[in-house]
Structure 1
Amino acid sequence: MPREAKETSTIEQKREEALFLLTPYPSLLLAVSGGPDSIALMTLCAQWRLRDAHDIAVATVDHGLRQESRAEARQVGRWAKAQGFKHHLLTWEGAKPKTRIQERARDARYALLVDCARRIGAQAIVAAHHAEDQAETILFRLTRGSGVAGLAGMAPIARCGDVALTRPLLGFRKGELEDICARAGQTFFRDPSNADESYARVRLRKLAPLLAAQGLDVDALLRLGTRAARADAALTHCAHETFERALISSDTRCVELDGGALIESPLDILQRALVEAMSRLSPEPALRLDRLERACARLAAALVARAPLRITLADILIEAREGRLRLRPAPPRRS
């Protein structure tokens, strides 16, 4: 087989394997910014063998942070329509924050995408995160002292509100995605903010050659993420078993646990079992790892000593008393 034909066959096989992740969702919303990664995602979906079995639309978010962003978003719409996709242009309205701009822009972007997905009946949002994005996320979390779950990186399938968030391109390198655009004759935009060193991720990117020289390259970070994901899954499994053993009663107003069954387990298992209990009362409790760790250390000490303790964590009241743990929604704070 000629080299070019062999390369084409390899790309087609990799495309089908990657997009297999999307098969359970009849209706999909592709998040396409106009950069090479998301344009490659759109191109791969246009060439997908199962394309006709899915209702696929494209959405572009105009954050309004650059003068040219509106024109670029409209151009993405033209590219999407040329590939046979319906396009939705979403706008981040209102005054823009002065601090934590990337974080808040990301939150706004996902909120707009979820709203669009609900409106058009899409079961999944499809993002174009790739292998280097994954490695960068793991490195960023490593510098922040993240736990095992954070070091696992981005999951191929996650939840974004009540919509699935899928990342089928985590096995692709950025260079491969740019090659896909080139082969299709598809142009794209470069976001100048990717070179702005006022952002932490950009500064970390600049350190990549130095870190790689010391052995911490993309492959090493991806291995770390894979191993952390396995460890995270094992801890989650053990924590669920611990929670089930400890569970006395559960409804929407109160979860009661046997403290004796909890303190037999290591602190990491206790933390995860506590989060599972909290999730029975609040589907997405806003938890910071450091606060969770401190709360669990105090709870463990109280349970061992059979001493009373009353703390509030993520708007949930947790009481240790007579060897039992009770969790209830915290009462409203007094003004």
Structure 2
Amino acid sequence: MSVDPAWFQQQGEDASIFASVYSPFESDAPQRIAVAVSGGGDSMALLHVLAGLVRQTGQQLHAVTVDHGLRAASADEAAFVCDQCAKLGVVHETLRWERTATTGNLQDQARVARYDLMSRWAADNQISHVLLGHTATDQAETFLLRLGRASGIDGLSGMRPRWTERGVTFLRPFLSHERATLRDYLTRHEVVWIDDPSNEDIRFDRVKARQALIALAPLGISVADLNRVSQNLHAELDVILAAAQDAATQIVSLDRGDVVLDCARFAALLPALRRRLLVRSIMWVSSARYAPRARSIARVDAAITEGKSTTLGGCRITVKDNGARVSREFKAVRDETSGTREIWDGRWQLAGPHDKALEIRALGLAGLRACPDWRQSGLPRASVLCTPAVWSNDRLIAAPVVGRSNGWTAQIVADFHILPFAH
């Protein structure tokens, strides 16, 4: 699937754009890839570039649009993308966010839903990589937004060029190109796109950041400058994350969904490393997308130092015998249900004789009574209550974590890697 370097040279002004998109696949090119397309200029440029590139690599390209239903024109925009994909010979699918009553930050909830929908769709279609059209200009705007929130090094290091959700890798190949560069590409190739009217609405923080970039230009502060700052901070962050990961290998042990910290070694760490281990432990156990507040983490840190148990973010932190165990809190999973083929509680995957009549729920007290030998598992009772079980209505079918397998197995599908707080 390699591309002859001479082909890139033949692309003239577009050579660097094609090279950026091809770069993630130079050493490992999956057969099926996808591009997220909203109809805006950046994603339309990525669609057009990929359509040309896969003719050289032989990969199968799919396109996906998420219709959040937040604007009256969203359905028409999805239809526009579908039409453009058809002209390029690219298979397209629209995913719709079935939104229930929401409170809080609607834009953030829409973003979370977007990635959740896309990762599930990609996994269902055996697509391993989804490419996104974020640019260097987006990166600069993100830097300013996070600077305004007094973010630390995690936030100021910018958007990650790649990450994985539900086994699907998301890539941002345009982070080295400014939005104006892609607009020039679109104009050269007479590619049409849709301008989202909300991009001019100053009620939105990102629009204000866009205006701030213009205001900063006379001071000699450019998109490229802000990107270099993010890149420098990212390099420093990588050192911190590596140190935290090294500490985790010495201090952390995983026990069937729980995290156990060696209290003596934990206490000897620098406060910044202790904080990162606690954040990752709680986020891993709870499958939370965002780190707990620093004040809350400091409270948990103090409790562990004093040998006291506490709770945070749907987790129990229990201190006993020089170990601090971070486990799920039962009330956080009491109502959590899923089909047996789905990921349960964000990280558990079960395998066995699947049936649509079955579902996964926490073992709970009713399940515990049906497992008289649960103590042989060696897990604390509070942890056992939160383990995944297969149910048929009110009848327990299997509890694989505590030995009642009945043909079922359970495994954690989330890696315990130390990640940036802003991931």
Higher RCO, Cα 8 Å, sep 6+: 1
Q: Please, which of 127, 152, 160 is the counterpart of residue 157 of structure 2?
A: 152
Within-5 A mapping of 1:288-303: 288-295=292-299, 297-299=301-303, 303=305
Q: Please, which of 189, 192, 195 is the counterpart of residue 184 of structure 1?
A: 189
Matched with 2:78 is 73
Offset of 1:292 from its aligned partner?
5.0
Matched with 1:329 is 328
Q: Please, which of 185, 199, 207 is the counterpart of residue 202 of structure 1?
A: 207
Q: Is 1:243–1:277's contact at 8 Å kept on the other side of the alignment? A: no
Aligned CA distance change for structure 1 residues 199 and 17 (closer, same or farther; 3 Å): closer
Q: Please, which of 215, 218, 221 is the counterpart of residue 223 of structure 2?
A: 218
Q: Distance in 1 between matches of 2:257 and 2:84?
A: 51
More helix by share: 1
Greater alpha carbon shift after TM alignment, 94-103 vs 11-20: 94-103
Secondary structure of 2:260's counterpart equals strand
Aligned CA distance change for structure 1 residues 246 and 331 (closer, same or farther; 3 Å): same
Offset of 1:127 from its aligned partner?
0.7
String of CA shifts for 1:17-68, please: whole Å, max 9, x gaps: 4322145432112111111101100111012166543211111222333333
Name the aligned partner's letter for residue 160 of structure 1: E
Matched with 1:251 is 255
Q: Is 2:120–2:166's contact at 8 Å kept on the other side of the alignment? A: no
Matched with 2:22 is 19
Residue 141 in structure 1 maps to residue 108 in structure 2 = no
Greater alpha carbon shift after TM alignment, 157-166 vs 176-185: 157-166
Q: Distance in 1 between matches of 2:139 and 2:241?
A: 21
Within-5 A mapping of 1:310-325: 310-320=309-319, 323-325=322-324
Offset of 1:98 from its aligned partner?
7.8
Matched with 1:272 is 276
Q: Distance in 2 between matches of 1:280 and 1:242?
A: 16
Aligned CA distance change for structure 1 residues 295 and 54 (closer, same or farther; 3 Å): farther
Q: Say how many residue pairs are matched.
A: 325
Greater alpha carbon shift after TM alignment, 127-136 vs 112-121: 112-121
**TM-score normalized by the length of structure 2:** 0.69
**TM-score normalized by the length of structure 1:** 0.86
Matched with 2:345 is none
Name the aligned partner's letter for residue 57 of structure 1: H
String of CA shifts for 1:271-323, please: whole Å, max 9, x gaps: 12223444664455653243454235524xx53xxx32222122222234565
Q: Is 2:37–2:63's contact at 8 Å kept on the other side of the alignment? A: yes
Secondary structure of 2:309's counterpart equals strand
Q: Distance in 1 between matches of 2:282 and 2:106?
A: 30
Q: Is 1:124–1:166's contact at 8 Å kept on the other side of the alignment? A: yes
Q: Distance in 1 between matches of 2:324 and 2:55?
A: 50
Matched with 2:167 is 162
Within-5 A mapping of 1:228-243: 228-243=233-248
Aligned CA distance change for structure 1 residues 66 and 325 (closer, same or farther; 3 Å): closer
Q: Distance in 1 between matches of 2:171 and 2:257?
A: 33
Q: Distance in 2 between matches of 1:222 and 1:113?
A: 27
Show structure 1 runs of 5+ residues with no match.
none
Matched with 1:193 is 198
Aligned CA distance change for structure 1 residues 8 and 56 (closer, same or farther; 3 Å): closer
Show structure 2 runs of 5+ residues with no match.
1-7, 335-423
Q: Please, which of 57, 61, 67 is the counterpart of residue 56 of structure 1?
A: 61
Structure 1 runs (4+) greater than 6 angstroms displaced: none
Residue 83 in structure 1 maps to residue 88 in structure 2 = yes
Q: Distance in 2 between matches of 1:24 and 1:65?
A: 35
Offset of 1:231 from its aligned partner?
1.7
Compute the RMSD of aligned alpha carbons.
2.8
Residue 131 in structure 1 maps to residue 136 in structure 2 = yes
Offset of 1:240 from its aligned partner?
1.5
Q: Distance in 2 between matches of 1:63 and 1:331?
A: 32
Of all paired residues, the percent bearing the same amino acid is: 27
Q: Is 1:267–1:296's contact at 8 Å kept on the other side of the alignment? A: no
Offset of 1:217 from its aligned partner?
3.0
Q: Distance in 2 between matches of 1:110 and 1:28?
A: 15
Q: Distance in 1 between matches of 2:277 and 2:226?
A: 28
Q: Is 1:32–1:42's contact at 8 Å kept on the other side of the alignment? A: yes
Matched with 1:37 is 42
String of CA shifts for 1:188-229, please: whole Å, max 9, x gaps: 110000011111111222222223334543223212211221
Secondary structure of 2:177's counterpart equals coil
Offset of 1:128 from its aligned partner?
0.2
Name the aligned partner's letter for residue 273 of structure 2: I
Aligned CA distance change for structure 1 residues 279 and 293 (closer, same or farther; 3 Å): closer
Q: Distance in 2 between matches of 1:285 and 1:116?
A: 19
Name the aligned partner's letter for residue 12 of structure 1: A
